[in-house]
Amino acid sequence: MKQRPPFPARLDLSSGRPTPARAAGKPVAPQHGARALAGMPPTRLAHAHGPDSTAVRRSMVHKLQQQGVSDAQVLSAMRTIERHRFVDSALGNQAYEDTSLPIGLGQTISKPSVVARMAELLRNGAPDKLGRVLEIGTGCGYQAAVLSLLAGEVYSIERLRGLHDKARENLRHLRLPNLHLLFGDGMMGYAKGAPYAAIIAAAGGEAIPQAWIDQLAVGGRLVAPVSAGVGGVGVQALMVVDKTALGVRQTVLEAVNFVPLKSGIA
C-alpha cells in the first residue's frame, strides 16, 4: 500500500505530490505533552493546551443540538476542537459565538453551525468514521481539524499561501497524523489521493467542478455551496451530491453565504 505523507504537508507544484512542510526559522521545542497528542483520545486532546474553554464549548454544542444537529460524532468533534485557537486573539471572546469571523486575506472562518451542519450531511448517518476526505479551502484549519476526528484520512487544499501557512501553524500543536495540508488550486481537487469517500468545499461557485465529481468514489458524498441561480447575484445554496453506480444525484438545501470559489494560487 502506498505510504501517505506525514502531517503537515504541502503540494509540490512541480510534481503534484504532497511533501513534508518545514516551519520557518529555528525549530521550536514541543510543548509539554505535545509528543503524546497523536495518540490522545479526543476527550483528553481538548484539554491538553491553552486556557480551559470546556464550558463555552459545551454551551456551543448544546446550542447546535437545539438547532437540530444530532450526529454524536459531529457533536463530539465540535466539543473537542478549540475554535479560539484558529482566530486572532483579539477575536477570541467571539470564538464560540455562532458567527463567521475574519481570518485575513478576505476570508472567514465558517459559523460553528455551518461546520456542524455540513459535517453531519457529509457523514449521512454513517455508523463509523468516514474514509478518505478531501476538503477544498483549508482557511485557518478549523474545519480540517474537526474533519480529522470524523475521517480516517483528510486531505485539505488551500490556494492562498498566507492561509496555508497560517493553518499549518494553527494545527501544529494538535499533531494530527491523519491530516495532510496541501497548497494548490482547489478547483482541480487532488487526484493523487482519489477516490474520496467524501468531499467538502468551503467556497462556492456557479457549479460543482467536474474534477471533484471525478475524484469522488462511487457511494461517496460531496457537500458544497453553489450559486442558487435565483434572487440575484451572490445568492448561494448548500448542495449535496451523491455519486451512485447509476449516476450523480444532486439535492439543493438551504441558503448559505460562503466566499467565492476561485481558481489558481496566490
183-221 per-position pLDDT tens digit: 999 999 999 999 999 999 999 999 999 999 999 999 999
Helices 72-80 and 112-123, interaxial angle, to 10°? 140
Give catalytic status of residue 148 as yes or no: no
For 49, the 3-state DSSP assignment is coil
pLDDT score of 16: 44
Q: What is the mean pLDDT of residues 100-113?
A: 96
CA distance 195 to 174: 26
Task: Confirm if 142 and 115 have CB atoms less than 8 A apart.
Answer: yes
Tell me: cis bond preceding 8? Omega within 30 of 0 counts: yes
| Domains in the chain, CATH or no CATH each | 9-15+52-256 (3.40.50.150)
Mean pLDDT of the residues in the chain:
85
11-52 per-position pLDDT tens digit: 434 334 443 333 333 333 333 333 333 344 443 343 333 457
**Residue in 53, 110, 148, 156 annotated catalytic:** 110
